[in-house]
Amino acid sequence: MDYVAIESAAKYACADADVTGRLAGLFEGELREQGLWQLFAEMEMPLIPVLLDMERNGVALNKESLWAMSQTLGERMKELEDQIYDCAGHSFNINSPKQLGSILFEEIKLPGGRRTKSGYSTDAAVLEWLKGTHPVIELLVEYRQLMKLKSTYIDVLPAIINPKTGRVHTSFNQTGTSTGRLSSSDPNLQNIPIRGELGQQVRKAFIASDGFLLLSGDYSQIDLRVMAHLSQDARLLDAFHNDEDIHTATASQVFDVPAAEVTPDMRRVAKTVNFGVIYGMSGYGLEQATTLSREEASGFINTYFEKHSGVKAYIEATKSQARDRGYVETVLGRRRYISEINSSNGQVRAAAERMAINMPVQGTAADIVKLAMIDIKREMDRQGLKAKMILQVHDELVFEVPQEELDLMKGLVAEMMPNALRLSVPLTVEVKTGPNWGELN
DNA sequence: AACTAGGCT
DNA sequence: GTATAAGCCTAGTTG
């Protein structure tokens, strides 16, 4: 190991005492695996001061709106509790899957479903299955949703605003994943709700401070573009070169109809298939994720691979590489060792194969975003901008930008994100701005 | 600490 | 016959 070079890279990248802790993690974890040397000097090391800057910047929060939501939700949840107790005939702890299971499947005698290690499963898929069999089900679904958002976000975030900065500061962990992604904790700002009316409301509480706007740059289908690059699949390359809607294109191929005749339902299935392929999804998995029968689902996956022979070949080659060398790698050489790829246990081996298939895709996307962060921060510093990089959510970068720098920053992000790394297909980025994270245009 | 559940990309 | 979609983090219950 070339410690002299590491040291000089460290000096170049960050004259900051703070880095010691992070370096320890990098030396212990990532550097232990080979293949990271190049990445370390060119990417992980220069990324450190960028992450520290983002953590220091933090993000502003509209705590009044969250307090108001907490109030409203608290009242609604009380109503739901009472109605649920009425259905059950007595009170119990709705937050206990154990108690809920015994009430649903033993007292009310609903058709018993899937089992977990310790009893009946009462998760969202089971409740969805039971919908219509008893009025308590929809009450439970709503209660669960409100409980999740209230206890994880709405009540927690306002309480952890830093009194000195008035903002919320996350930790971006550089060494916490096996694919090269970042993770975020205390609080996790990479899983802020976005779906549904309520989710939107929570996201709207992430605001720009006075005189600033939020700017978000979001890679479009970066995982599928990476898959196109890795597999060199003719149809995927073609679709992205022509800037087609990839899910519609896939639907057109799999259902064998002209693109103009693809229905929303067909597109939805194709979208699930497209993502499923990246994860090594089976016919059963597709069946569970859609309304298709098992036979239909398996049929679509077979058709997909017939039409996308490049993807099929890539998946086989990746599994083979994992078996032969013991690891897989991203476009830039980041490695993941797959120790169980030759396991004699079929299930363990299958899980290892899915990890092997997914890591080069997810990891290359992570590398691209990291490079973009470094490029953009360097340019922001060079120009002495007041704009701040504040969040990274895997394929999205969020900035807080003063009004007067908005056009400049839009141009900078739109230029640098797509050009962070040259692939066989173009990388496209959607740049949006707005007063908060839930209202970007 | 293990388990169940569920939020995000 | 059995399990079945990658990667994370956090909250609440239970023993």
A279 CB below 7 A from strand C atoms: yes
pLDDT grade, residue A190 (50/70/90)?
Answer: very high
Query: Is the separation of the CB atoms in A412 and A379 below 8 Å?
Result: yes
| % of residues, chain A, pLDDT over 70 | 93
In sequence order, which residues have a C-beta less than 8 Å from that of residue A276 and are 6 or more positions away?
A285, A286, A289, A301
Nearest residue to A291 via CA among A278, A272, A308, A263: A272
Nearest nucleotide, CA A396 to C1': B9
Flag whether pLDDT at A412 surpasses 90.
yes
Q: Which two three-digit tokens encode residue A186?
A: 């205390």
pLDDT grade, residue A5 (50/70/90)?
Answer: very low
Contacts 24+ apart (CB under 8 A), A233-241: A233/A308, A233/A309, A233/A310, A233/A311, A233/A314, A234/A310, A235/A307, A235/A308, A235/A310, A236/A308, A236/A310, A236/A311, A236/A425, A237/A424, A237/A425, A240/A425, A240/A426, A241/A425, A241/A426
Q: Three-state secondary structure along A65-105? A: HHHHHHHHHHHHHHHHHHHHHHHHCCCCCCCCHHHHHHHHH
pLDDT grade, residue A7 (50/70/90)?
Answer: very low
What is the three-class DSSP state of A234?
helix
- Nearest residue by alpha-carbon distance to C1' of C13: A96
Query: Is the separation of the CB atoms in A261 and A253 below 8 Å?
Result: no
What is the three-class DSSP state of A208?
coil
Nearest nucleotide, CA A191 to C1': B8
Angle at A191 between CA A391 and CA A374, to 5 degrees: 25
Model pLDDT for residues A132-155, shown as the tens digit of each residue: 899 999 999 999 999 999 999 999
**A409 vs A7, which has greater pLDDT?**
A409
Q: How far is the CA of A399 from the C1' of C5 (A)?
A: 32
- Predicted local distance difference test score (pLDDT) of residue A16: 53
Covered bases, chain C (protein CB within 7 Å): 1-15
Nearest nucleotide, CA A118 to C1': B3
Q: Three-state secondary structure along A374-429? A: HHHHHHHHHCCCCCEEEEECCCEEEEEEEHHHHHHHHHHHHHHCCCCCCCCCCCCE
A190 CB below 7 A from strand B atoms: yes
Flag whether pLDDT at A293 surpasses 80.
yes
pTM above 0.85, yes or no: yes
CA-to-CA distance for A338 and A360, rounded, in angstroms? 12
Average the pLDDT over A295-312 and give the result.
94
A91 CB below 7 A from strand C atoms: no
- Nearest residue by alpha-carbon distance to C1' of C3: A347
The average confidence (pLDDT) of chain A is: 92
Model pLDDT for residues A323-336, shown as the tens digit of each residue: 999 999 999 999 99
Model pLDDT for residues A235-270, shown as the tens digit of each residue: 999 999 999 999 999 999 999 999 999 999 999 999
Angle at A373 between CA A372 and CA A376, to 5 degrees: 80
In sequence order, which residues have a C-beta less than 8 Å from that of residue A100 and are 6 or more positions away?
A92, A94, A122, A140
A339 CB below 7 A from strand C atoms: no
Beta bridge partner(s), residue A206: A61
Flag whether pLDDT at A4 surpasses 70.
no
Model pLDDT for residues A333-379, shown as the tens digit of each residue: 999 999 999 999 999 999 999 999 999 999 999 999 999 999 999 99
pLDDT grade, residue A23 (50/70/90)?
Answer: low
**A254 vs A440, which has greater pLDDT?**
A440
pLDDT grade, residue A21 (50/70/90)?
Answer: low
Q: How far is the CA of A53 from the C1' of C11 (A)?
A: 29
